[in-house]
């Protein structure tokens, strides 16, 4: 039976790599895989075509979507709703509530696998992730570790070597802009940086 899956993890937890490995596995078994990523994620392009690209070097061509796109219409445009089709979404946190609802409807006919962050750098749920938690049939955490060895749960935004506490929710970046941390290290580093700013 087809389902809506949400697989989430902190920055650096191999979400994109796992999405691409999942794509490869389905393709090996003869499925048609439709890989999507948000247009806002402009980190990958090859020969003018958008790419989903992981830190470990895995990559694949994909279809970009905007916040205005309707996945029901996209499914018709790409002839997705047929036997042995699969939808995979990378950076699913950038989906809108409406788009997640559309993907839920599509998941009644084909498997839909969403990979993304759960929370932003302020430890607040992203819109897309919140709705996925509410209506996904299967929710799985992709675990990663903090530098201290504990489980990373916070996506700390790093600006000029310090944790950022303000700014826009969306700032596309990787290791140069974000660090997955446990909550203890996150709060401890914020306290230390606050003291340094006062001195």
List active site positions: 91
CB neighbourhood size of 173 (10 A):
12
Give the relative orientation of helices 127-135 and 97-106 as an angle to the nearest 10 degrees: 40
Q: Which residues pair with 33 in a beta bridge?
A: 86
For 12-33, the DSSP string reads TS-HHHHHHHHHHHHHHTT-EE
Q: What are the C-alpha distances in Å from 126 to residues 122, 143, 186, 194?
A: 10, 18, 19, 26
CB neighbourhood size of 65 (10 A):
19
For 45-116, list the strands marked E by DSSP: 45-46, 49-53, 59-61, 63-65, 85-89, 112-116
Residue for token digits 């996150």? 186
What CA–CA distance (Å, rounded) separates 21 from 177? 25
């Amino acid at each position: 039976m087809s389902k809506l899956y949400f697989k989430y993890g902190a920055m650096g937890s191999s979400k994109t790599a796992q999405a691409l490995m999942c794509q490869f596995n389905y393709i090996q078994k003869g499925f048609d895989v439709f890989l999507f990523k948000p247009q806002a994620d402009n980190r990958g392009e090859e020969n003018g075509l958008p790419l989903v690209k992981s830190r470990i070097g895995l990559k694949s061509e994909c279809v970009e979507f905007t916040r205005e796109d309707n996945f029901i219409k996209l499914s018709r445009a790409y002839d997705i709703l047929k036997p042995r089709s699969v939808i995979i979404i990378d950076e699913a946190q950038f989906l809108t509530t409406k788009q997640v609802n559309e993907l839920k409807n599509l998941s009644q006919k084909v498997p839909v696998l969403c990979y993304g962050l759960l929370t932003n750098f302020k430890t607040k749920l992203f819109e897309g992730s919140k709705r996925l938690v509410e209506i996904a049939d299967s929710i799985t955490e992709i675990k990663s570790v903090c530098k201290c060895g504990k489980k990373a749960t916070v996506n700390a935004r790093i600006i000029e070597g310090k944790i950022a506490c303000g700014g826009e929710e969306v700032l596309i970046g990787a290791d140069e802009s974000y660090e997955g941390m446990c909550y203890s290290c996150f709060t401890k580093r914020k306290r230390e940086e606050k003291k340094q700013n006062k001195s």
